Amino acid sequence: MITIDEFKVSSFEKKCDLITNYTEFIASRTLEDTKTYLYYTGEFFVEVFYSTRYKKVLMIHAFNDSETLVPYTEEVSLIDLLS
């Protein structure tokens, strides 16, 4: 896998190829008419913003800070682990 800096400067097509072949899907969330998918490379996270209205990827965002993960944790429920 490449570094986060190499990923950020890669072409859109290369980013899509890397996401498809070298990441693990973690979670998704919906923001109005945009679905956001979270992936993990083993080194950093990648968000893919997909427009459900226009049926296309709007943006790909790579990051390695925990603050950007917070919106995903709001939708996680551990209630089933208690029983």
Structure tokens that stand for 53 in this block:
């209205």
pTM of the model: 0.86
Contact, 24 vs 43, CB < 8 A? Answer: no
- Tens-digit pLDDT profile for residues 62-73: 999 989 988 888
- Tens-digit pLDDT profile for residues 28-82: 999 899 999 999 999 999 999 999 999 999 999 999 998 998 888 877 666 666 6
Write the DSSP string, 8-68: HHS-HHHHHHHHHHH-EEEEEEEETTEEEEEEE-SS-EEEEEEETTTTEEEEEEEE--SGG
- pLDDT value, residue 77: 66
Q: Which of 61, 59, 56 is nearest to 41 (CA)?
A: 61
Question: Which domains are seen in the chain, by residue range?
Answer: 4-82 (3.30.67)
